[in-house]
A and B are shown apart, each in its own frame.
Chain A
Amino acid sequence: MDSASPQAATVTGSTGLDDAIRQLKFRDPSLARGLAETIARVTREIGRSPVSVMHVCGSHEQAIAKFGLRATFPAELNVIMGPGCPVCITDTPEVDEGVALARQGIVVASYGDMIRVPGTRRSLADAQAEGARVEVVYSAAQAVDLARRLPAEQVVFFATGFETTAVATAAILRSNPPENFSVLSAHKYIPPVMEIVAEMPETRVEGFLAAGHAATITGWGIFEGFVERHGIPVVVAGFEPLDILAGLARLVELVRDRAPRVVNMFPRCVTKEGNRKAQAELWSVFRPLGGRWRGIAHVPNGNLRLREEWAHRDARKRFRIDLTALWDEAPAGLAQQCICGDIMSGISSPSDCDLFGKECVPDTPVGACMVSSEGTCKIWHQYGGLPDLRGAL
């Protein structure tokens, strides 16, 4: 669920190597088989089909696809990826704002995936091809470095990602960056969108698998109100295959027992309170604001915008961004056939899309879900595409 950042960029020492080896213990096949059997048995005990549960995280989908976990799920269990890709849900007008700034001669820095997401008329990459200065960065800190290196330019960091990356943006703003640095925030906040998806009649989600790293910051306690309001269980899970299988096993048990509550299955990282210091930093810089998530809906409190005290760092306040010329534009031809929105709401899957793997591939993406490494379409494409191998070779 974190915003796209190629891990290769900052690898410097062997600490990373040790960490990588340590993670491998969460991939034990015999434990995985046992958990898969539990999931199958409990799902059948529920006695309904399909039982639909949703995760809201690109990293969860990555692991499910990479390790082929869906092939082990029972036919009755539908594990849906919800709106868990920050690049995918960045709305077209937000991209247009970035493009408009770049075309005014302002240096726009953003994560690599963001550069290729289509706006109404142009992507940032298109603007770059036409001469605008657009820079790929791997972190907010790199965008600040860029501003330091270019003291005569205005540098805007087009900031995307959920609360996890928003914390990093907040920390950077609080670290006294140079005067020529500002932020165009397209950060999003996950808890409110869960409320929206839970109420969607087409989806009928019976349980949520919440993202472990976001919960590291927010704490698992944040989901208690949600469970009370909607009567739907939430399990916080990590990102290794065994984390996900164990999380799903617990989730179907809660569905079976009609026992909606929050269960933390990622206790090695997540506490009930979360990281209070990070929360304080986040809310000292950002305020929640309603706004559209691309393809989903208007999400009350779903956007993170800079607070009034940070207006001097807010690209929307510092610069004039005029999008009126784009208001009447219709989306480009193929984009009208794109079903990213339905995929992110869990109503459809990439295999339902006529464009998937044909006109829409990672090199020439039609929708944002094929651009981002956290988009469902890109992930499915990377790990072999459509076919569900359940019950067949």
Chain B
Amino acid sequence: MSSTTSTATATTVRTSTTRIEERITLKQGGGGRAMRALIEDVFVRDLPPLSVPGRGLDAMDDGAALWLGDRWLIVTTDSHVVHPIFFPGGDIGRLAVSGTVNDLAMMGATEPLALTCSVILEEGFSRADLERIQASIRETCREAGAPIVTGDTKVMGKGEIDGIVLNTTGLGLTDRVVPDSGLQPGDRILVTGTIGDHGMAILAARHGLNLEGELRSDVAPINGLIRTALAAAGDAIAAMKDPTRGGLSSALHEMAVKSGVGILLEELAVPVSQAVRAASELVGIDPLLIANEGKAVLGVRPEAAGRTLAALRSHPLGREARIIGACIAERPGNVILDTGLGRRLLAEPEGELLPRIC
């Protein structure tokens, strides 16, 4: 669980004379500390017990794990809102399927059993756009080997919702649940490829930075890539997480806090494409804080780091995999960034750098 001590979740809008009622803010959807605090304080409280042994919402992992007697059933769900709905490298349909398939994979279930897909549409939404999104969903499902087995459609009045919202739920089976809390001092931290591509592509598309040609979202189902790594290293893969909202920083902080270790991150080892690096200099947003939709962070026992890296690089989606850091006993829950020029603590992103990104 998180070490967050904050009790006040919703930000209080303060004026000099009055205190206004608490409201939900965008920051609480940002994937960082504020969102975890909101979930813990509102949703996790007083949950009924699980019907079978397993790990439920209170584990705050990528999904739930339910013990079926011989294997684990992994269940995960995700709602998707992104603006724009079509962006360089993908669209909301590809994002929805990839997000759910990847959450299953992060728990160890790399062969999805089934997906559900619900769509809420705004009156007046373009039928051609809807069909284009559906084609993208179909294509991504084929890529991931994930069948959609049921769904739901709603239409809301003009102005009651912004365009389209997709929700996908995923089911998968696995013999071993990979938690995001299994790190020990000495473990190596690996990332499966370049960082920051999705968030920066969205930002560029949204604000008309003239870099669209070079900036493409990495959105992709990576269950096949993870399967390859697990086949090579098995139990030596101690923890996995997909660095989506809040980016690599948020993922590493969560793993460090839950595992009770410190993480020493080598900034110069983190793969970042030239276009993302340049764009991040321009707009002043650190690639470490930007969302990814086709990457994973792995914590691996030191003796297995080399063969895990080799396995990742043998897969088309893992060519740029790198070892980017190591776990240490000092400073549990903190991420220390070695910039190559010095060292500092990496701050955990608190707010939403970019709203409605995934």
Contact = CB atoms under 8 A, between A and B. Distances in A.
A99 to B, nearest CB: 10
Interface stretch (B222-230, B307-315, B344-352): B344-352
A72 B345 CA distance: 14
A362 B347 CA distance: 13
Contact of B336 (A23, A363, A381, A389): A389
Given A14-B211, A389-B336, A363 B283 contact: no
Interface stretch (B8-16, B161-169, B296-304): B8-16
Interface stretch (B78-86, B124-132, B136-144, B274-282): B274-282
28 contacts: A6-B283, A7-B282, A11-B207, A11-B209, A11-B210, A17-B211, A17-B278, A17-B279, A17-B282, A20-B277, A20-B282, A32-B342, A65-B344, A67-B341, A67-B342, A72-B341, A72-B343, A122-B15, A122-B16, A245-B341, A363-B11, A363-B350, A364-B12, A364-B14, A385-B345, A387-B345, A389-B343, A393-B328
Contacts of B337: 68, 384
Contact of A68 (B278, B330, B343): B343
B207 A12 contact: no
A73 B337 CA distance: 16
Interface string A1-20: 00000111001111011001
B347 A385 contact: yes
B264 interface: yes
A105 B207 CA distance: 32
Count class of interface residues, chain A: 35 or more
A319 interface: no
A106 interface: no
A383 B288 CA distance: 12
Which of A16, A23, A24 has the largest count of B CB atoms less than 10 A from its CB? Answer: A16
Contact of B210 (A14, A118, A241): A14
Interface in B316-358: 328, 330-331, 336-347, 350-351
B13 to A, nearest CB: 8
Interface string B227-268: 000000000000000000000000000000000001010001
B36 interface: no
Interface in A19-72: 20-21, 23-24, 27, 29, 32, 36, 65-72
A374 to B, nearest CB: 12
Contacts of B342: 32, 36, 67-72, 241
A393 B185 CA distance: 13
A350 B115 CA distance: 50
B27 interface: yes
A389 B350 CA distance: 22
Nearest to A31: B341
Interface of A: 6-8, 11-14, 16-17, 20-21, 23-24, 27, 29, 32, 36, 65-72, 118, 121-123, 126, 129-130, 241, 245, 332, 361-364, 381-385, 387, 389, 392-393
A387 B330 CA distance: 13
A69 B340 CA distance: 10
A32 B278 contact: no
A32 B338 CA distance: 13
Interface residues of B, number: 39
B284 interface: yes
A381 B347 contact: yes
Contacts of A7: 282-284
Contacts of B278: 17, 20-21
Contacts of B262: 393
Contacts of A66: 339, 344
A29 B268 contact: yes
Contacts of B328: 393
A70 B337 CA distance: 13
A21 B331 CA distance: 34
Given A23-B281, A363-B351, A71 B210 contact: no
A69 B341 contact: yes
Contacts of B344: 65-68, 70-71, 383-384, 389
B225 to A, nearest CB: 30
Contacts of A241: 341-342
Nearest to A332: B16
A192 B15 CA distance: 35
Contacts of B277: 20, 24
A245 B278 CA distance: 23
A368 to B, nearest CB: 15
A256 B131 CA distance: 73
Contacts of A363: 11, 27, 350-351
A387 to B, nearest CB: 6
Given A17-B278, A387-B345, A126 B16 contact: yes
Contacts of A385: 345, 347
A32 B340 contact: yes
A118 B16 CA distance: 9
A364 B14 CA distance: 8
Nearest to A20: B281
A374 B208 CA distance: 27
B8 to A, nearest CB: 10
B210 A13 contact: yes
B216 to A, nearest CB: 16
A32 to B, nearest CB: 4
Nearest to B344: A68
A241 B340 CA distance: 11
B341 A21 contact: no
Contact of A393 (B11, B331, B347): B331
A393 B16 contact: no
A387 B335 CA distance: 12
Nearest to B281: A20
Contacts of B346: 384
Contacts of B14: 364
B347 A384 contact: yes
Contacts of B347: 381-385
Contacts of A384: 337, 344-347
Contact of A21 (B274, B338, B343): B274
A16 B262 CA distance: 37
A375 to B, nearest CB: 15
A332 B14 CA distance: 12
A369 to B, nearest CB: 17
A393 B12 contact: no
Nearest to B330: A393
Contacts of B264: 393
User: Nearest 8 CB-CB pairs, A to B?
Assistant: A384-B345, A68-B342, A68-B344, A29-B340, A20-B281, A71-B343, A8-B283, A32-B341
A121 B345 contact: no
Contacts of A382: 347
A385 B335 CA distance: 12
A199 B14 CA distance: 39
